[in-house]
């Protein structure tokens, strides 16, 4: 299968390129870069035959069958729709859109074209969260509460590589999206009650740097989520599963029980790399002609819950 990676020179574009390199039968034949990127030099260094700053140029290529979009969030929905309209399967990084209206439009286009369209909800694929999900499905665990901390130190507009961004990240539509989807995925329910509060707006970035979110599903399970771009300390996301039969703490691809004992995840999946696993699911769904886990349709409920949370923030002022 021959693919294009857009946003290839960014932090997550490179993660996807490294993941694809570990998957047999997949060849990157085109990469798309943004304005600051030396995308031609980037492609040459990696032995990729085609590079451009224009996504349409890659979509016009007959050898491109599928596209991975690791581009700025504000471009996700429109670019994913263009990929589908051009006859290309698409995996769009999280979030699939930054409004619920755009997310719904993307789902409508996917249904009309019948192509595979998948959102980069990697928490569904991290072996740590898969282990918990398997226990829930087997009836061995029931979630009472998920307590999640998502903390970064980003008082300037920098990406995960410490390079300047051309766009502004958002705690709700990007970072909270991971947890909103994961909570609803693990409980198998849509939040029936939600609240959200945000701290002061950054004077230059124009976004809230701190946020508090609460959710409850009909079964009674709770999710408490704290997010910050002001945290100068351990960075990243920590997920505490408080269950009827144990407590578990997940950090990306690692898992411990509540007493700090490491849990062996070696048999959960073919890789411990969540990005590689989501890419494998994307390519497998294309080959099998099936709907993937984390299809845009299956992730739409998370976008709708984010919209409700945004309404809470707007009411909070």
Nearest to 48 by CA among 92, 6, 76: 6
| CATH number of the domain enclosing 285 | 3.40.50.720
Same domain? For 156 and 262 the reply is: yes
Q: What is the pLDDT of residues 104-119, one digit of tens each?
A: 999 999 999 999 999 9
Q: What is the pLDDT of residues 204-220, one digit of tens each?
A: 888 899 999 999 999 99
- Nearest 5°: phi and psi at 29? -105, -10
Same domain? For 203 and 309 the reply is: yes
Same domain? For 171 and 240 the reply is: yes
| CATH number of the domain enclosing 128 | 3.30.360.10
Quote the domain boundaries for residue 54: 2-121+275-294
CA distance linking residue 189 with residue 170, whole number of Å: 25
Number of domains in the chain: 2
Same domain? For 160 and 101 the reply is: no
Q: What confidence score (pLDDT) does residue 205 get?
A: 85
Tokens 């699911």 map to which residue?
A: 281
Same domain? For 190 and 312 the reply is: yes
For residue 176, the 8-state DSSP code is I
* CA-CA-CA-CA dihedral for 191, 295, 263, 141, to nearest 10: 40
Q: What confidence score (pLDDT) does residue 159 get?
A: 66
Reduced to 3 DSSP states, what percent helix, strand and coil does the chain have, rounded to the nearest 5?
35, 25, 35
Same domain? For 110 and 233 the reply is: no
Q: What confidence score (pLDDT) does residue 160 get?
A: 64
Same domain? For 232 and 206 the reply is: yes
Same domain? For 136 and 57 the reply is: no
0.75 exceeded by the pTM?
yes
Contacts for 193 with CB less than 8 Å, ≥ 6 apart:
214, 215, 216
Q: What confidence score (pLDDT) does residue 253 get?
A: 82
Same domain? For 10 and 149 the reply is: no
Same domain? For 82 and 171 the reply is: no
Same domain? For 158 and 196 the reply is: yes
Same domain? For 143 and 256 the reply is: yes
CB 73 within 8 A of CB 36: no
Which residues does the chain have with pLDDT short of 70?
A: 158-162, 165, 167-168, 317
């Amino acid at each position: 299968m021959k693919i294009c990676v857009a946003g290839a020179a960014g932090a997550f574009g490179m993660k996807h390129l490294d993941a694809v390199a570990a998957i047999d039968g997949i060849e990157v034949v085109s990469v798309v870069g943004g304005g600051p990127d030396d995308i031609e030099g980037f492609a040459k260094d990696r032995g990729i035959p085609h590079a451009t700053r224009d996504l349409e140029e890659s979509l016009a290529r007959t050898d491109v069958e599928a596209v991975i979009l690791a581009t700025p969030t504000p471009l996700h929905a429109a670019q994913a729709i263009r990929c589908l309209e051009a006859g290309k399967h698409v995996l769009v990084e999280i979030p699939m859109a930054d409004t619920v209206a755009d997310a719904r439009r993307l789902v409508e286009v996917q249904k009309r074209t019948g192509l595979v369209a998948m959102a980069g909800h990697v928490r569904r694929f991290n072996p740590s969260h898969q282990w918990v999900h398997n226990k829930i499905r087997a009836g061995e665990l029931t979630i009472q509460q998920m307590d999640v901390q998502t903390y970064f130190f980003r008082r300037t507009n920098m990406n995960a590589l410490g390079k300047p961004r051309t766009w502004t990240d958002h705690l709700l539509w990007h970072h909270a999206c991971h947890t909103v989807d994961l909570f609803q995925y693990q409980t198998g329910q849509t939040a029936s009650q939600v609240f959200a509060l945000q701290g002061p707006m950054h004077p230059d970035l124009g976004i809230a740097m701190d946020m508090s979110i609460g959710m409850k599903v009909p079964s009674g399970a709770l999710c408490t989520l704290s997010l910050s771009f002001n945290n100068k300390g351990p960075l990243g996301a920590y997920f505490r599963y408080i269950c009827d039969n144990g407590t578990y703490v997940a950090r990306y691809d690692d898992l411990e029980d509540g007493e700090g004992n490491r849990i062996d995840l070696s048999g959960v999946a073919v890789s411990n790399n969540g990005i590689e696993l989501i890419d494998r699911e994307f390519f497998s769904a294309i080959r099998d002609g099936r709907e993937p886990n984390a299809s845009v349709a299956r992730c739409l409920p998370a976008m709708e819950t984010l919209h409700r949370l945004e309404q809470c923030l707007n009411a909070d002022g």
